[in-house]
Structure 1
Amino acid sequence: MIPADHNLRIILEGCKREQRASQKELYNRFYGYGMSICMRYARHYEDALEILNDGFLKVFRGLPRFSYPEDENRLPSSLVTWIRKIMIHTAIDYYRSARHHAQEHEYELQEGKEAVYEQGDPLNRMTYAELIGVVQQLSPAYRAVFNLFVIDGFSHEEVAAILGISVGTSKSNLSKARLHLRHLLKNTHEEIAAKYER
């Protein structure tokens, strides 16, 4: 995940001077990492790409304020952490913007339809891409809370502050997101099971 490169500082200095070659190099090196974050928050590849590109604009604009760690060996991990924060916040900004321009489609779940999966279930062998595909089917509100809390490790208080919702709404949306994921997984269980039993 962290690109090993002895010239990373040189690339960053070139980006600070707005050198296109350096910006392209940084973008190419961190494209996969950034896209893996953006895909979790977006519903479609095109949306993720838009978030990614907006995020990189913020990276390039913010680089003059990026502080190099004292230990040069920590530069890659410090940069990854910094880029991760920018991509997450850019994805949340995108979510907020979409929320103001379109009505949310909230999924209604029927009570008592939760699926329970055993350890040997084929669902436990889902690939990352398959799992992200299921997460992307959540409504924007559920997807944002699920990603922030479950995957990115924010507390409900932090999620509430980031999204501008109450802590109770954050907890409720997480619970509903999990229920809806179970519902989606139940609906796709046969398809995934067939894939892995071939």
Structure 2
Amino acid sequence: MNNDELKELIKRCAEQERSAQEQLFKLFYGKMMGVCMRYTKDRDRAQEVVQESFIKIFDKLADFDFKGSFEGWVRRIMVNASIDAVRKRNREAFSTDEEYIFNGRSSFQEHDLDDDITKIKAEYAMEAIQELSPAYRTVFNLFVIENYSHQEIADILNISEGTSKSNLAKAKQNLRKILSEKFVNLDHER
């Protein structure tokens, strides 16, 4: 679908045309389900978040000004709704450790996933990410996949920047452990 067709579809959705809303939903459902699945462990909950988010999207379509990417705008709504769902389920989910020090230095490089994680097939990595606690999974997704800074994550989640860094470091440490325990024979499966 080209940009002009998308604009026309959005305009029809803003006018509450049900067939256009259904078309827009189908157009973005798969991608947005993937976004929500990264935050929620349960497929049913992810579907609920997607559906609730589309209700918000249809309500707020008149506010979309076409100055940025529509998909980016939809994605942000999905991410925020997913974070809200995690918060509702886990009121005290985020570690409050201000610093996480490993061997006398920070245990992560902010924009560099360790080689052992990046070389693994996406499906295995996704499965391992789903096994993280909601707090670690949320911070990991926001930082690594959505490219938020630690300050932005702290603002979104109402935690300190140090807590964000700590949760990311612990998420990566737990991912290494999960992957080494469950997927040690990945090379033999190829």
- What is the deviation of 1:57? 1.2
Name the amino acid aligned to 2:184. Answer: E
Contact 1:34 1:52 in 2 (8 A): yes
- For 1:182, which of 176, 179, 183 is the aligned residue? 176
Report the Cα distance in structure 2 between the residues aligned to 1:137 and 1:122, rounded to whole angstroms.
15
Report the Cα distance in structure 2 between the residues aligned to 1:29 and 1:7, rounded to whole angstroms.
12
Partner of 1:58: 56
* Structural RMSD (CA): 2.6
Q: What does residue range 62-141 of structure 1 map to in structure 2 within 5 Å?
A: 62-69=60-67, 78-100=69-91, 104=93, 124-126=119-121, 128-141=122-135
The 1:124–1:50 alpha-carbon spacing in structure 2 relative to 1, beyond 3 Å, is: same
Name the amino acid aligned to 1:47. Answer: R
- What is the deviation of 1:192? 2.5
* Structure 2 gap segments, 5+ residues each: 96-101, 108-113
Deviation per residue, 1:38-68 (Å, 9 max, x gap): 1111112112111111111111111011002
Partner of 1:74: none
Runs of 4 or more above 4 Å deviation: 103-106
Name the amino acid aligned to 1:145. Answer: V
Contact 2:94 2:136 in 1 (8 A): no
Name the amino acid aligned to 2:72. Answer: T
Partner of 2:142: 148
Report the Cα distance in structure 2 between the residues aligned to 1:35 and 1:129, rounded to whole angstroms.
15
Report the Cα distance in structure 2 between the residues aligned to 1:5 and 1:25, rounded to whole angstroms.
15
* Structure 1 gap segments, 5+ residues each: 70-76
- What is the deviation of 1:81? 1.2
Report the Cα distance in structure 2 between the residues aligned to 1:130 and 1:81, rounded to whole angstroms.
26
- For 2:11, which of 10, 13, 38 is the aligned residue? 13
Report the Cα distance in structure 1 between the residues aligned to 2:142 and 2:120, rounded to whole angstroms.
23
Name the amino acid aligned to 2:164. Answer: S
- What is the deviation of 1:177? 0.3
Matched, 1:161 2:150: no
Partner of 2:27: 29
- What is the deviation of 1:5? 6.0
Q: What's the TM-score once normalised by structure 2's chain length?
A: 0.82
Report the Cα distance in structure 2 between the residues aligned to 1:122 and 1:139, rounded to whole angstroms.
18
- What is the deviation of 1:167? 1.1
- What is the deviation of 1:10? 1.9
The 1:140–1:125 alpha-carbon spacing in structure 2 relative to 1, beyond 3 Å, is: closer
Deviation per residue, 1:143-171 (Å, 9 max, x gap): 01101111111111110110111111111
